[in-house]
Amino acid sequence: MGEPARKIDIIDARPDFTQEDADALNARFEGVHASDMLKTLFEEGNLGEVAVVSSFGTESAVLLDLVAKADPSIPVTFVDTLRMFPETLEYRETLIKTLGIQNANVVKPDPVVLAAKDGNELRWSFDPDGCCEIRKVEPLARAKAKLNSWISGRKAFQSATRQNLPRFEVEDGRLKINPLGDWVKEDLDAYFEEHDLPRHPLEAQGYLSVGCAPCTSKVKPGEDPRAGRWRGWDKTECGIHEDVTPLPSADEDENSANDPIF
C-alpha cells in the first residue's frame, strides 16, 4: 500500500470576525435589552477569548454591573496610565468589591518606553496624542492581543464623534461589543438609582468624563459630557477607539446580509 498523503500545514490567517458577522449580530439583538444580550452571548460561548475594557470612569459601573450579573468571571481590564486620579484607582477597588468582579486585571505602560519618550512626564502638555499612544494605546494593544472579542463602554450620546454607534463592530478582526451604544444619560442615571450603584467621587465636582488627571477638566453647563477631555486640543479620543462603523440602512440590508450567525 502506498503511503498516506502528507497533510499540508496551513496557517489560518482569516479574522475571527467580519463586518458581516457584526451586521448579523446587530440585526439579531436589535431591541434586546443589554442585560439579556450579554447573558445570551456569554451562555452561547461563541465570543472566544473576551474581556471588558473599562476606564472605571463616571459611567463605568453600569456596564460592569450588567456584565457581572451575566457572568462575574468575565475578565475586566483596566489600563493604568500611571497618570490616573487617585479617586479613580479607589473607585476601581470599590466597584470590584461591590459588584463581585472575579477576574480584574491591570495593564500598564512599558517602563522602558516611558523612560525613552516621557522621562520628564510632560509629554501630555505638548503631544497628547503621543502621550496617549505610549500610556494607553500600546498597553491596551498588548492586552487585546490574546482576545477574539472585547466589550466597550462607549455610548452614542457622549459626543458628536460617537453618533450612530452600533452594538457590534469589527476592529482588526476582533468583535467589539458596545452594549450601551444606544443608551442615553437618563437610562444610565435610572440604572444607577435602581441598582444603588456607587458613583465616581469626582462626578459631583463636575468631572463628567474622567481620564488621566493632567488632561481632564470639569465640564461646563451645556457642554457634552466629554468636553472636559483634552480641553484646548483638537482631540476627542485617546486612540483606543477607531471611527464608528455605522449601522447599515434598510436598503443595504435587503439581501438578508444581517441574518443571525449565532
Once rounded to an integer, what is the mean pLDDT over residues 158-181?
A: 81
pLDDT for 240 equals 54
For 124, counting Cβ atoms within 10 Å of its Cβ (0-12 exposed, 13-18 middle, 19+ buried), the class is buried
Place of cell 459630557: 225
Quote the DSSP letter at residue 255. Answer: T
Once rounded to an integer, what is the mean pLDDT over residues 171-176?
A: 93
pLDDT tens digits, one per residue of 145-156? 999 999 999 987
Phi, psi of 36 (to 5 degrees): -70, -40
pLDDT for 14 equals 59
Dihedral, CA atoms, 157, 158, 163, 166, nearest 10 degrees?
Answer: -80
Once rounded to an integer, what is the mean pLDDT over residues 116-144?
A: 94
Taking all residues of the chain, what is their mean pLDDT, rounded to a whole number?
Answer: 85
- Among the listed ranges 20-34, 125-139, 163-177, 230-244, which one has the minimum average pLDDT value? 230-244
For 172, counting Cβ atoms within 10 Å of its Cβ (0-12 exposed, 13-18 middle, 19+ buried), the class is exposed
C-alpha cell at 175: 468583535
Cα–Cα distance, 194 to 190 (Å, whole number): 6
Which residues have CB under 8 Å from 159's CB, separation 6+? 224, 225, 226, 236
Q: Is the dihedral of CA 233, 89, 98, 238 positive or negative?
A: positive
- Reported as a pLDDT band with limits 50, 70 and 90, residue 3 is low
Once rounded to an integer, what is the mean pLDDT over residues 192-211?
A: 95
Q: Which residues are catalytic?
A: 238
pLDDT for 251 equals 45
pLDDT tens digits, one per residue of 28-40? 999 999 999 999 9
pLDDT for 53 equals 96
Pairwise pLDDT comparison (160 vs 21), residue with the higher score: 21
- Of the ranges 13-17, 202-206, 251-255, the best mean pLDDT one: 202-206
Q: Is the pLDDT of residue 93 over 70?
A: yes
Known binding residues for [4Fe-4S] cluster are 131-132, 212, 215
- Reported as a pLDDT band with limits 50, 70 and 90, residue 144 is very high
Which residues have CB under 8 Å from 60's CB, separation 6+? 54, 95, 153, 200
Known binding residues are 131-132, 212, 215
